[in-house]
Amino acid sequence: MTLKPVFSKYELECGTDEAGRGCLAGPVTAAAVILPVNFQDSLLKDSKQLSERKRDILKPIIENEALSYAWAHVFPKEIDTINILNASILAMHHSIKALSMTPEFIIIDGNRFKPFHNIPFQTIVRGDSKFMSIAAASVLAKTERDAYMKKIHEEFPMYNWKQNKGYPTKEHRAAILKHGITKYHRKSFRLLAEQIKLEV
pLDDT of residue 180: 93
Domain of 33, CATH number, reads 3.30.420.10
**Inside any domain, residue 159:** no
2, part of any domain: no
Question: Strand 28-34 vs strand 13-19: parallel, antiparallel, or unpaired?
Answer: antiparallel
pLDDT in tens, the chain (200 residues): 689 999 999 999 999 999 999 999 999 999 999 999 889 888 887 677 899 999 999 999 999 999 999 999 999 999 999 999 999 999 999 999 999 999 999 999 999 999 999 999 999 999 999 999 999 999 999 999 999 999 999 999 999 999 999 999 999 999 999 999 999 999 999 888 665 555 54
Whether residue 189 is contained in a domain is answered as no
Residue 22 half-sphere exposure toward CB, CA atoms < 13 A: 4
CB 95 within 8 A of CB 62: no
Q: What is the pTM of this model?
A: 0.93
Give domain status of residue 80, yes or no.
yes
Which range of residues forms the domain containing residue 130? 13-151
* Nearest Cα to Cα of residue 184 among 7, 24, 25: 25
Residue 195 included in any domain: no
Give Cβ neighbours of residue 190 (< 8 Å, ≥ 6 apart). none
Domain count along the chain: 1
Taking CA atoms, 127 is separated from 2, 9, 42, 137, 162, in Å, by 12, 17, 17, 11, 27
45 in a structural domain? yes
Q: What is the pLDDT of residue 150?
A: 98
For 121-174, the pLDDT digits (tens) are 999 999 999 999 999 999 999 999 999 999 999 999 999 999 999 999 999 999
In degrees and rounded to multiples of 5, residue 116 shows phi and psi of -125, 110
Residue 183 lies in a domain: no
Residue 149: what pLDDT?
98
**Residue 198 confidence (pLDDT):** 53
Torsions phi, psi for 2 (to 5 deg) = -75, 130
Is residue 178 domain-resident? no
